Structure 1
């Protein structure tokens, strides 16, 4: 019998949640997602020192200030890692905008356009890249503009239904609702509760978003993310896409048994409501302590890793 991973690929597009090229080559996902934490981990491995030195040499020729040089090397590094990943996957790579721009529409647009321009310089067309933005109100507004410009986006750090709905209303290409980080919050808030995968709040959140998008005929792709265990993944089989860490991909690949499809597109259609306003969006987020806390925590975490990466670059520049 085929492994759970082979069976899962029949129902959901599998995406590798890693910058590890060996793992990507082994599991042969359709796409791959990256973020500052994954890029930092890859760079800290020491496997990309030569590439880093070449990028620094290239940037040195532009006569930039120290801060400008660090930013330029960081951008070129992210794109260079994306290029390596694209050699391993037939689909797309998600490349993240600096988390410090999560509340800056124009800043996010400038950075996204710069990343796309660097990919273009490297011969990578924009149809192979997803620009990844945090699903703040400002991130969603920036994504709306980018989508209109033909640059498709992946909105990440989604913990609340209002975030998902606002993304669909902005015609965003893909969203990444998180599962495991939601479970983390509820385990801390309700330590006495033993959450089975089927009943996990994160799993239920993704299912609700998926069904809502189906019933209202939104084309936005739902990609479940941030998994803590295989049970969560199996409980979302049939979701449009699932981005999975190498450790859990390995478990799925090594496990047999029968996998049942859980999520199936509904033929029922419901009229769409008026789009959320900014004030409605912010109020719904304010009323959700889990989403507010996890979104802020995620942005801070990505920012911390981005700054660590930039310190490494600064030290290497000398």
Structure 2
């Protein structure tokens, strides 16, 4: 029998949730998605040091010798993400998601400007914007930024999405794709209830994504649903048939080694009907978010976590820039 991974790939687009180029080569997904934490982890792998150095040298050349180290690092952060994205796109046939700095999550204008910059950096490398998804946190400000970007033909992936109302707001904004976080929802419920185990079908993250998927399909929204942040393969199996699923290398390997039968659970052509009609503006969105402690806490936690990863990456780049420029100055003295 075919492996679970092969069966899943026949009914759902499988996306690699990693910045590790070797893992992407191994699993050969159509698409790949990264975030600051994954880029930080990948940047610490010695074989990828050349991408860090390339970004730092490019940033220094753009700013010239008058650019301060802090200015070089701010420029290099974007270049590092784009260089990793380019390497990923050399491996996969589809799209890569590149994330806007999470520290801009509540600034619509700055998010739009950063997204345009990322797209232009890819353009300089000869990569079409059709192969890029700009990842933005699912705050109201982020969703409004995505609405503007989508009208410009810049496709967006709204991340850190934890509830139905964030999803509906994204669909109404015409967002290309959303990434509801299955595993992080499960984590919250385990901590809140003290219950250690949820079966796949009772998993609150699975239930959330299933509701979103069926609502989108029954209402005719074009926004794609990509389940993310999985804790086990039972969650993945329960969402077989979802538009896309982004999966870590560890779980991809488990799926690859398992040859049990996979049943399609979600069907976009025959969704469960939904009679709900949701109309959201900023006030109603924020009120509904405030009433959902899980979504509010996990969104805040996610933004803080991604922001911390960016700060750690900046520190790593500072250290490497010092080495590169010290070596360069030493060679000039010789």
**TM bracket (short chain):** over 0.9
Asked if the contact 2:159/2:179 (under 8 Å) is kept, the reply is yes
Cα 1:294–1:147, aligned 2, differ >3 Å: closer, same or farther? same
Aligned to 2:168: 165
Asked if the contact 1:137/1:278 (under 8 Å) is kept, the reply is yes
Give the 3-state SS of the residue equivalent to 1:239 in structure 2: coil
- Within 5 A, what are the aligned runs for 1:1-318? 1-61=1-61, 62-63=63-64, 64-192=67-195, 194-265=197-268, 266=270, 273=277, 275-318=279-322
Residue deviations 1:85-115 (CA, integer Å, cap 9, x gap): 0011100000000000000001101110000
User: Residue 161 of structure 1: CA displacement?
Assistant: 0.5
Structure 2 CA distance, aligned partners of 1:269 and 1:147? 28
The gaps in structure 2 that reach 5 residues or longer are 323-334
Cα 1:311–1:268, aligned 2, differ >3 Å: closer, same or farther? closer
Structure 2 CA distance, aligned partners of 1:192 and 1:217? 36
Range moving further from structure 2, 90-99 or 49-58: 49-58
The gaps in structure 1 that reach 5 residues or longer are none
Structure 1 CA distance, aligned partners of 2:128 and 2:313? 26
CA RMSD of aligned residues (A): 1.4
User: Residue 298 of structure 1: CA displacement?
Assistant: 0.4
Structure 1 CA distance, aligned partners of 2:193 and 2:59? 50
Residue deviations 1:206-243 (CA, integer Å, cap 9, x gap): 00000000111001000000000000000000000000
Asked if the contact 1:36/1:305 (under 8 Å) is kept, the reply is yes
User: Residue 49 of structure 1: CA displacement?
Assistant: 1.6
User: Residue 194 of structure 1: CA displacement?
Assistant: 2.9
Give the 3-state SS of the residue equivalent to 1:222 in structure 2: strand
Cα 1:192–1:275, aligned 2, differ >3 Å: closer, same or farther? closer
Asked if the contact 1:34/1:94 (under 8 Å) is kept, the reply is yes
Asked if the contact 1:222/1:239 (under 8 Å) is kept, the reply is yes
State TM-score, norm by structure 1: 0.97
State TM-score, norm by structure 2: 0.93
Greater CA radius of gyration, 1 or 2? 2
Give the 3-state SS of the residue equivalent to 1:131 in structure 2: strand
Asked if the contact 2:214/2:274 (under 8 Å) is kept, the reply is no
Residue deviations 1:21-52 (CA, integer Å, cap 9, x gap): 11111111110000000000001112222222
User: Residue 273 of structure 1: CA displacement?
Assistant: 3.9
Give the 3-state SS of the residue equivalent to 2:14 in structure 1: strand
